Structures are given as C-alpha cells and as structure tokens.
Chains A and B, each alone.
Chain A
Amino acid sequence: MVKRIVTGAHYGLLDWLAQRVTAVVMVIYILLLVVVLLIFPPNDYAAWKTIFGNQWTRITSFLFFVSLCWHAWIGIRNILMDYIHETGIRLTIQVLVILSLLFYTVWAIDIMWS
C-alpha cells in the first residue's frame, strides 16, 4: 500500500501559545499561593479551611486548575503524536485523556465548593 503523507491541519499556533500562557498563569498562582502561605502560615485544619474558604482563593485555584489541565492536554497530545503512530489507538487514548482531565476539573470544583 502506498503510504501517503498527510500534513496541513492548519492549527498548532493556538496550542503553542496557550501552553505558554497557561504556564505563566500557573507560575503567578504558585507565587501568590507561596506569598499567602508565608503571610498566614496555616498550622491547623481550620486555618487551611479559612484560606480555601475565601472566594478569591477558590476562583484563582480553579483558574490554576483549568490552566493545568489545558497545559497537560497540549503536552500529552504532543507526546502521543510523537510515539503513537496508529491513528485509531491515538484517538482512543486522546479521548481518554480528555475525559480524565474533564473528570479531574469537575472533581476539583466539587472539592473546593462543597
């Protein structure tokens, strides 16, 4: 069978850019979190609960989590594109990765807002 090379999907820039932007978001969140933890060092469960009971902590943590999942999706797809050459298997794994990342995001919301 003739192996025809198909390229030209005309996407990629947005993912590349998104990976960089999400990385910056994560760095800012981590720095902010470190500062907060240094100013209000939590030494018991109640203190942790106060910090994460704050609506802003929850919103920024959620943003961090969305960035993390988006970033992970781009990275994992890159790895799959390099190493899994069978289209069917690759698509299956990609769907599984997306579903688990969505599951984690919902789970994170459940943890923070329950």
Chain B
Amino acid sequence: MRFSIYRYDPDKDQKPYMQDYDIVLEPTDKMLLDALIRIKVFDDSLSLRRSCREGVCGSDGMNINGRNGLACITPVAGLKEPVELRPLPGLPVIRDLIVDMTQFFKQYHSIKPYLINNDPPPETERLQSPEERAELDGVYECVLCACCSTACPSFWWNPDKFVGPAALLQAYRFLADSRDQATAERLDNLEDPYRLFRCHSIMNCVDTCPKGLNPTKAINKIKGMMVKRTV
C-alpha cells in the first residue's frame, strides 16, 4: 500500500517535505494506525502520537487524505492511494505528524472544564434525574483530539481568541449539567465577539468529528441560552 507522509524534523530539515512509502501490510493491519506502526518497522524516524489505539485517548488525530480523523479508527480498506497524511492543520508542527497542542488546551482550560458547585458535598453523589443526565448525551463523549478545532477556519485565523468547537462543546457540556451552578459566569465568559461569535456555523467540525459529535449544535444551544437570558 502506498503512503505519502508529511515529514519535518526542525533539527535537520530546512522545510517540510512529503515522503513516499510503499509497504506490504500484514492481514492484521486493519486500521491506519496499524499501517503507520508497520511503517515504523522500516523507518523508525517517523514520529507520531498514539496511545490507546481504539479511539478513546484522542492522541493520533491527523489529516488523512485532506480530512481530519483518528488514525486508529480509520480503516485502511477504504482509503484512496497514495494515502496522504499530514499533521493537524493550523497548529505548529513539533515533528512529522506531531503538533503543538498548547493553544488548543489553553482554550479548553479557559472555559473552566470542571463542575462548579458551591453546595457542601452530599453524603453520596450529586444525583441527576434520567432526563437531566440525557442532556449530556452527545456532549460528554468528546476525547479532545482537536480534529474539529483544527478543521475550523475561524480557529485557524484566531486560535488565541476564538475558543474553537472542541472547547465550546465542553463549555456547553457544563452549561447543560444540572449539577453545575456557574451558568451565568460561563455565559458571561463566552459572550464575546471572538470567544463564541467567531463561529459562523460552517459545520466543518461536525463533518470531521471522529466520534460523530455535533459541536455546531452545542454552540447554537449556547447562543440560544444567551438569547433566552437577554431577550
């Protein structure tokens, strides 16, 4: 199978280049990550992040034939050859397929991604009704792989100011949580022409999400909450 992979080692290379690989896959190499690990048998200088290899850790997000996705849950079978692999767009490249996620996580931290509840902790758990719990379906599953944010032009142009689809989905995850008490502060934090309103609903995030989530819908729900408290 033929691959064309983005290579860049800032210590050695003047600029990035594409390297071609022609390798024979074993029958067990079902997913793209398996193929990449096979390539590393022949060329161990190729660098990439991976950990759980089953789409839960979100480490191996990359641009696969022009679309962001997780290598470990992308079957090699349907891929057009040569398979063109590039690092996630819009973030600084550390080496080969590894990008610097600092900016992405800065935005994630800026939305306070934890439950804020000032009541004394109860004896057991903070309970939710099944309906309240159902509000979190489709928003809590995000693995923070950055596929969506790095597919978003608004995040490319303003990664320092626009929160980005991934962190906005998480912002909504806590806005939607019946146990959270910081709704007003969270909305205040997002009510900004850059932080939230750079989103123009072009839905690249929905198109690319490897977990099948819908950040645009969550963002529109945040806007809806703002309309509700303002109008």
Q: List the interface of chain A (C-beta within 8 A of B).
A: 5, 7-17, 78, 81-83
Minimum distance in angstroms from A91 CB to a CB of chain B: 14
Confirm or deny: B194 has a beta carbon within 8 angstroms of a beta carbon on chain A: yes
Q: Tell me the complex Cα distance, A10–B192, Å.
A: 5
Complex alpha-carbon distance, A17 and B153, angstroms? 22
Chain B nearest CB from A96 CB (Å) reads 19
Given A13-B226, A16-B223: A7 and B194 within 8 A (CB)? yes
CB pair B160 A12 closer than 8 Å: no
Interface bits B203-231 vs A (CB < 8 Å: 1, else 0): 00000000000000000000100110011
A/B interface sample: 18 pairs, CB < 8 A: A7-B161, A8-B192, A9-B192, A9-B193, A10-B191, A10-B192, A11-B191, A11-B192, A12-B192, A12-B196, A13-B197, A13-B223, A13-B226, A13-B227, A15-B193, A15-B197, A16-B197, A17-B231
Q: Which residue of A lies closest to B154 (CB)?
A: A82
Minimum C-beta distance from B221 to chain A (A): 14
Judge whether B160 and A81 touch: CB under 8 Å.
no
Q: Which residues of B contact A11 (CB under 8 A)?
A: 191-193
Contacts of A82 in B (CB 8 A): 153-154, 157-158, 198
> In the complex, what distance in Å separates the CA atom of A78 from the CA atom of B158?
12
Question: A residues within 8 A CB of B198?
Answer: 78, 81-82
Please count the residue pairs between chain A and chain B whose beta carbons lie under 8 angstroms apart in the complex: 47
> Which residues of the partner chain A approach B193 to less than 8 Å between Cβ atoms?
9, 11-12, 15, 81
Query: Are A7's CB and B157's CB within 8 A?
Result: no
Residues of B within 8 A of A78 (CB): 198, 200
Q: How many chain B residues touch A (Cβ–Cβ < 8 Å)?
A: 21
Q: Given the complex of chains A and B, what is the CA–CA distance between A111 and B154 in angstroms?
A: 39
Inter-chain CA distance A16–B195, complex, in Å, is 13
**Minimal Cβ-Cβ distance residue in A for B226:** A13
Which residue of chain A has its CB nearest to the CB of B229? A13
Tell me which residues across on chain A come within 8 A of B192, comparing CB atoms: 7-12
- What are the residues of chain B within 8 A of A9 when measuring CB–CB? 192-194
Q: Residue-by-residue, is B11-50 near A (CB-CB < 8 Å gives 1, otherwise 0)? A: 0000000000000000000000000000000000000000
For window 74-113 of B, CB contacts with A under 8 Å fall at: none
In the assembled complex, the CB of A19 is this many whole angstroms from the nearest CB of chain B, namely 10
Chain A residues with CB under 8 A of B195:
7-8
The CA-CA distance from A14 to B200 in the complex, in Å, is 15
Is B119 among interface residues, defined by CB-CB distance under 8 A?
no
With A78-B200, A82-B198 as known contacts, state yes or no: A13 contacts B157, CB within 8 Å: no
Tell me the complex Cα distance, A7–B198, Å: 12
Residues on the A chain within 8 Å of B196, using CB: 12
Cβ contact of A83, chosen from B157, B160, B161, cutoff 8 A: B157
- A81-B226 in contact (CB<8A): no
Selected from B158, B160, B194, B230, the residue in CB contact (under 8 A) with A13 is: B230
